[in-house]
Amino acid sequence: MRSFFVLFLPLACLADTVTMKDGTFLKGRIERIVDGVMEFRAPSLGNANLLRLELAQVESFVTDDPVRVSAGGVVSDGVASAAGGRVVTSGGSETNALDRAVELWREPSRRPSESGDKRAWVTQADADLSGRSGVVSGSGFSTGFSAKGVTKADTVIGGIRLMRAEAQGRISADDLHATLSYETNPTNIVFWYVRTDTGFDNARQIDFFSVNAGGLGFRLFTDAKGKLDARAGLAHRFELFADETQPNRSAPSGDFGLIFTRELGWAAWDSSVSFVPSFQTTGDYYVRHESSLNILRNSGPLSLRIGLANDFRSKPLPTQAKTDTAYFLRTTYVWK
């Protein structure tokens, strides 16, 4: 039986390879397998993106270099391969069922069952050039920093972004967003989340704003190349205006959103949209949207994004446009 699986070991493989049951072929690095989930990193996705593949959807895989595999309590070292629902290593004498009992890891000191609760962090810093139209027009820049921490149970993401632009010698944008979110990993398709977005927006004459929300999320679609999540919850929205003649806004609100990611081969597509309607004032809501393509990627820490962001307010101040649009070219540096 073992000789059957040896046929799946390529003579010259440059990376781990995984074939999904839907026919998707992936090339990169298997970080580990634990609790029926394979964590897979593909260079084309960038260091910040770690795919979580359900083992039940994996048709076969083969590693390029030796790993550690445990199934049924026996640990074996060597190049690992799987096919036909069985897994084997070059250092083991038996095949085992490819199921939730299988563990695969690389560092001897970090067996998944012993380190599954440790949070794995990925951080990134970026800077971009942007053009704006809507509330104000002009060109400028933004810079940001974010960190993402993942365990097998949940995900924490925090970030901060500062934007500034000028038009005809005047400051046309000067705003800051500090964000923090927490979400559980989906059980079947359902998860829950909490999030906060706080800062200021001088272009809209907002000295301070804060949106705090929480609710349920739904994984509407997922495969080896991406996912589509929906969110629905409750929020509280607060805005303090620089113009003292304008009443401050403080209202219970709804919180709805969509988050879409997709690997295209030549690029990675990311898109998100959030809709926050006030329950206190009819027709008072805002919509924030951002879409980007991650291009010029390789196995290193640098990548380039091109995209646009929209901020729509249904009831802006009397002298302001409802929609503010920014176009950006963003360089990102990622490290773990």
Reported as a pLDDT band with limits 50, 70 and 90, residue 44 is low
Higher pLDDT, 217 or 172: 217
Which one of 115, 144, 160 terminates a domain? Answer: 115
Based on the domain organization, do 209 and 289 belong to the same domain? yes
Quick: pLDDT tens for 227-261: 899 999 999 999 999 888 888 889 999 999 999 99
Is the pLDDT at 212 greater than 50? The verdict is: yes
Q: Say whether both 187 and 216 belong to one domain.
A: yes
Assess whether pLDDT exceeds 60 at residue 312.
Answer: yes
* CATH number for 139: 2.40.230.20
- Say yes or no: 154 and 272 in one domain: yes
Chain centroid to Cα 251, Å, comes to 29
303 versus 94: which is more confidently predicted?
303
Per residue in 143-155, pLDDT (tens digit) is 999 999 887 678 9
In whole angstroms, what is the distance from residue 125 CA to residue 163 CA? Answer: 14
Task: Please check whether residues 106 and 126 belong to one and the same domain.
Answer: no
Q: What angle do CA 154, 157, 160 make, to 5 degrees?
A: 170
In the prediction, which pLDDT does 7 show? 40
Whether 71 and 135 share a structural domain: no
Look at 44-48, 195-199, 270-274 and tell me which has the smallest mean pLDDT.
44-48
50 shares its domain with 99: yes
Does pTM top 0.75 for this prediction? Answer: no
Query: Do 105 and 233 sit in the same domain of this protein?
Result: no
Could you tell me if 148 and 252 lie in one domain?
yes
Give how many domains the chain has, as a whole number. Answer: 2
Same domain, 74 and 207: no
Is pLDDT of 289 > 70?
Answer: yes
pLDDT at 77: 85
Residue that finishes a domain, picked among 115, 144, 161: 115
Cα separation, 321 vs 284, whole angstroms: 15
The pLDDT tens digits of the residues spanning 94-133 come to 778 888 888 898 877 667 666 556 787 889 999 998 877 7
Q: Which residue from 302, 261, 326, 290 is spatially nearest to 129, judged by alpha carbons?
A: 326
Region 287-310: mean pLDDT is: 87
Instruction: Please count the residues of the chain.
Output: 336
Picking from 94, 115, 136, the residue at the C-terminal end of a domain is 115
Beta carbons of 36 and 100 less than 8 angstroms apart = yes
pLDDT at residue 272 tops 60:
yes
Same domain for 279 and 151: yes
pLDDT at 93: 64
Residues 110 and 255 in one domain: no
Residue range of the domain that includes 110 = 2-115
| Selected residue with higher pLDDT from 266 and 198 | 198
Q: Is the pLDDT of residue 159 over 70?
A: yes
What pLDDT is recorded for position 263? 82
Same domain for 152 and 276, yes or no, is: yes
Answer whether 126's CB lies under 8 Å from 93's CB: no
- Greater confidence (6 vs 49) lies with 49
**Residue 3: pLDDT band by 50, 70, 90 thresholds?**
very low
293 Cβ neighbours under 8 A, 6+ residues apart: 267, 268, 269, 305, 306, 307
